[in-house]
Amino acid sequence: MKKTWKITALATAITIMSISVLGCGAKDNADTPASPAKESESGTEKTETEATESTESTDTAESADSGAASGDRVFTPYEETVEISSVKNLGSGVLEFPEGDSLEDNAWTRYLEETLNIKLNWNWSTNSEQYAQKVNIAITSNDIPDVMQVNSSQLKMMYDNEQIMDITDVMSENLAPYTEEVLNSDGGIALQAATFGGRLYAIPKIGSPLLTAKVLWVRTDWLEKLGMEPPKTVEDMRNLAEAFTTQDPDGNGADDTYGLAVYKDLYGSGYADLTGFFNAYNAYPSCWIEKDGGVVWGGVQPEVKEALTALNEMYNAGQLDPEFGVKDSNKVNEDVSAGRFGMMFGDFWNMAWINDAKINDPTFEWIPVAIPALNAGTPAKAQLSASTTDFYVISAECENPDAVVRMLNLQLEKSYGETAEPTVFNITPEGFGVYQYPAVALEPPMKNFTAAQKVSAVINGEAQTDTLNDEELGYYEMAVKSLDGDHTNNNWHQLKMFGPNGSLSVMFDEYWTPGNVVNDAYYAAPTETMTEKLPTLKKQQLQDYTSIILEGNMDKFDEFVINWNKLGGEEITQEVNDWYAAR
């Protein structure tokens, strides 16, 4: 499968090259054989319009000052207005617009109409909490807009239902080089996840797998009080957990502190998430890992048993909240804010949830460190999950799929490309997040890490603020305010992410650069048995892990492994290995 994609990619590259080098005539030739039979009826008509566009494109290409190959036809307007319908995920809060603007009429929609003559129509919009639900309804009632953002199981379902278009050819004909570069920046893994039977069915909303790595957050005001150092090894971490529990780090005379924050579902939320703890023991409980030339489920490996043994010891020693088993991550967050915990594993953004506590008590201070090593000298490897969880699909009934691809080209180019205008299309000087307005939007996956490095360099006095773009400047300004003691408006949280030794720098320097990462070895759409049995298996795993931590009955783990295989795990492993071998 991967091979096929490579060929397609190669074809794309050749197509684009031939367009830019040879101009329109050659393009038509390259075009025709690639057209799928399905579209042949509209073929003639299409070629005509494209021919006109191409003629025009030569004019614009000459006048375009970028001079690069990207000034080709994919950035030229359609003859007649093309209407594209879509739906909008408004994000977590309310989407805000500059005075007079709206979702229907804003910088992006106007620019789209101007440059490409594409008019965007929104069928509906809702907040992220409800978005998946509305998409499910749209899919099941067959109310599909031209382009829609979906998650991986929805993608699989729509593919099975034949509701979405094979976009292999549309993509190869219309992709701008920069868009292609971004889409392939993870080595084609994300595109692979959107490929069925060798054909591409969706545009992956590519993300950086590195962002899913966990760090260990440690309370430094407690460290100082006890005269201890941030942990480097598992042993350090265990000692620290004990000290935080028994030595009254908050100095209130009461035995009310715990070493490590844990929540009821153990891992997956990204906050007080034990994934990092397991990783420290070389265990990877929620992903497929490569082992002995094949692929195995990390959750049933013997290393997990060691991590669970450790957790049970910590539980018995009172280093975990005895009631963690009923607390969800919001509840744990209340306890962390109230100063009950000294360490927690989690995502790079965790300080966002306790920024209020920092405002309340400025001495409250945390730092992120890399996952501690089991043996000093052998750094732990961080588990990376499939980072691409969302996809843009084009309806099987969409009349202008090429327009969707061109919208995407334009979005990437004007936001992050050479001709980018971040103050117009990313964040306005007044703080409006224009980047949230388009129907299809990607971003270069590693840009947050680049931003962290640049911001840190300026704070450390190694560079000037003029090296920062507007977005980075925003982070820099917030971080500096926090350094000056103003922690409000999430300033402190930004400092903890983008600042020197912030979470993003830790992840980049300690995991990415030295290659201390473990990728999820399975990244295709879920298999038949997975959809059917994985929820049950996951439930079983959680239930048994929890009871092992609480009761310390280690035989139960071996029992769990046997059960796991019996309840469908073996079957799924077989399917995954078949996929792995055929890759």
Partner 1 sequence: MHKKSLGMKIFTIFNYTFLTLLALTCLLPMINQLAISFSSSSAVAAGDVGLFPVDFTLDSYKYMADKPEFWKSLMVSLKRILIAVPFSMIICVLAAFPLSRQDHEFPARKYYIWMFVVPMLIGGGLIPTYIVVRNTGLIDSIWALVLPYTVNVFNTILLMNFFRSLPKELEEAAYVDGATHWQVLVRIILPVSKPVLATVTLFVIVNHWNSWFDGLIYLNSPDHYPLQTYLQTQVVSANLMALESLRDIRQIGMISDRTGKASQIFLAAVPVLMIYPFLQKYFTAGIVMGSVKG
Partner 2 sequence: MKKSKRRLKNWSLHLMLLPALILLLVYNYIPLVGNVMAFQKFNPSKGFFRSKWVGLKNFEYVFNLPDIYQVIWNTFYIAVLKIIMGVVIPVIVALLLNEIRKMKFKRTIQTMIYFPHFLSWVILAGVFVDVLSPSSGVIGKAFTAMGLEPVFFLGDPKWFPYTMVLTDTWKEFGYGTIVYLAALTGIDPSLYEAAVMDGANRWKQTLHVTLPGILPIVLLMSILAMGNIFNAGFDQIFNMYSPQVYSTGDILDTLVYRIGMLDAQYGVATAIGLFKSVISFAMLGISYALAYKYTDYRVF
10 Å CB burial of residue 249 (0-12, 13-18, 19+) is buried
| Closest distance of CB 194 from partner 2, Å | 18
Q: Is 133 in the site for partner 1 (CB under 8 A)?
A: yes
Cα-flanking dihedrals φ and ψ of residue 470, to 5°? -65, -40
Q: How far apart are CA 201 and CA 458, in angstroms?
A: 43
| Closest distance of CB 349 from partner 1, Å | 4
50 vs 544, which CB is nearer to partner 2? Answer: 544
Q: Is 91 in the site for partner 1 (CB under 8 A)?
A: yes
Which of partner 1, partner 2, none does residue 271 bind (CB under 5 to 8 Å by kind)? partner 1
Interface size with partner 1, residues (CB under 8 A)? 59
Which of partner 1, partner 2, none does residue 205 bind (CB under 5 to 8 Å by kind)? partner 1
> Which residues inside 353-372 make contact with partner 2, applying CB under 8 A?
none
Using CB under 8 A, pick the residue from 25, 91, 98, 322 that binds partner 2. 322
Chain Cα centroid distance, residue 226: 37
- One DSSP character per residue, 127-159 reads -HHHHHHHHHHHHHTT---SEEEEEHHHHHHHH
- One DSSP character per residue, 52-92 reads HHHHHHHHHHHH-TT-SGGGSGGGSPPSSPEEEEEEEE--S
Give the closest residue to 562 by CA, choosing from 367, 325, 300. Answer: 300
Q: Is 275 in the site for partner 1 (CB under 8 A)?
A: no
DSSP state of 244: H
Q: How far apart are CA 444 and CA 33, in angstroms?
A: 32
10 Å CB burial of residue 377 (0-12, 13-18, 19+) is exposed
> Which residues inside 194-253 make contact with partner 2, applying CB under 8 A?
none
Q: Please state, in angstroms and as integers, the Cα–Cα distance from residue 212 to each residue in 226, 301, 502, 520, following that order.
A: 32, 21, 15, 11
| Closest distance of CB 576 from partner 1, Å | 22
Q: Is 92 in the site for partner 1 (CB under 8 A)?
A: yes
Q: How far apart are CA 346 and CA 368, in angstroms?
A: 9
Q: Is 142 in the site for partner 2 (CB under 8 A)?
A: yes
Which of partner 2, partner 1, none does residue 396 bind (CB under 5 to 8 Å by kind)? partner 2
Residue span 504-543 as binding mask against partner 1, x where in contact by CB under 8 A, dash where not = ----------------------------------------
Interacting span for partner 2 (CB under 8 A) from 152-160, 356-364, 460-468, 553-561: 152-160
Which of partner 2, partner 1, none does residue 361 bind (CB under 5 to 8 Å by kind)? partner 1
142 vs 252, which CB is nearer to partner 2? Answer: 142
Residue span 20-49 as binding mask against partner 1, x where in contact by CB under 8 A, dash where not = ------------------------------
Answer yes or no: are the C-beta atoms of 507 and 546 closer than 8 Å: no
Give the closest residue to 116 by CA, choosing from 355, 388, 407. Answer: 407
Residue 299 three-state SS: helix
Interacting span for partner 1 (CB under 8 A) from 9-17, 56-64, 325-333, 368-376: 325-333
Using CB under 8 A, pick the residue from 66, 98, 124, 574 that binds partner 1. 124
Q: Is 532 in the site for partner 2 (CB under 8 A)?
A: yes
Q: Is 433 in the site for partner 1 (CB under 8 A)?
A: yes
555: which residues sit within 8 A by CB, 6+ positions away? Answer: none
Q: Please state, in angstroms and as integers, the Cα–Cα distance from residue 53 to each residue in 32, 35, 59, following that order.
A: 16, 18, 10
Using CB under 8 A, pick the residue from 12, 355, 383, 409 that binds partner 1. 355
Tokens of 453: 């490095």
Answer yes or no: are the C-beta atoms of 133 and 98 closer than 8 Å: no
Tokens of 492: 């402190």
| Closest distance of CB 190 from partner 1, Å | 12
10 Å CB burial of residue 163 (0-12, 13-18, 19+) is middle
Which of partner 1, partner 2, none does residue 130 bind (CB under 5 to 8 Å by kind)? partner 1
Query: Which residue reads 């957790």 in tokens?
Result: 311
> Which residues inside 265-284 make contact with partner 2, applying CB under 8 A?
265-266
Q: Helix (H) and strand (E) counts for the chain?
A: 24, 15
Which of partner 1, partner 2, none does residue 91 bind (CB under 5 to 8 Å by kind)? partner 1
294 vs 535, which CB is nearer to partner 2? Answer: 535
Q: Is 128 in the site for partner 1 (CB under 8 A)?
A: yes
Residue span 166-205 as binding mask against partner 1, x where in contact by CB under 8 A, dash where not = ---------------------------------------x
Using CB under 8 A, pick the residue from 82, 354, 382, 386 that binds partner 1. 354
Which of partner 1, partner 2, none does residue 528 bind (CB under 5 to 8 Å by kind)? none
Strand partners, 343: 218, 260
Q: Please state, in angstroms and as integers, the Cα–Cα distance from residue 570 to each residue in 471, 487, 513, following that order.
A: 48, 51, 35
Q: CA dihedral defined by 366, 371, 376, 381, rounded to 10 degrees?
A: -160
Using CB under 8 A, pick the residue from 4, 47, 184, 269 that binds partner 1. 269
| Closest distance of CB 300 from partner 1, Å | 23
Q: Is 321 in the site for partner 1 (CB under 8 A)?
A: no
Cα-flanking dihedrals φ and ψ of residue 363, to 5°? -80, -15
**Residue numbers of the site for partner 1 (CB under 8 A)?**
90-94, 103, 122-130, 133-134, 137, 140-141, 143, 205, 207, 211-212, 268-271, 328-330, 333-335, 337-339, 347, 349, 352-357, 359-361, 387, 389-390, 427, 433, 435, 448, 490, 493, 497
**Residue numbers of the site for partner 2 (CB under 8 A)?**
136, 139-142, 153-154, 157, 160-163, 264-266, 322-323, 325-328, 330-331, 396, 531-532, 535-536, 539-540, 542-543, 545-547, 550, 567
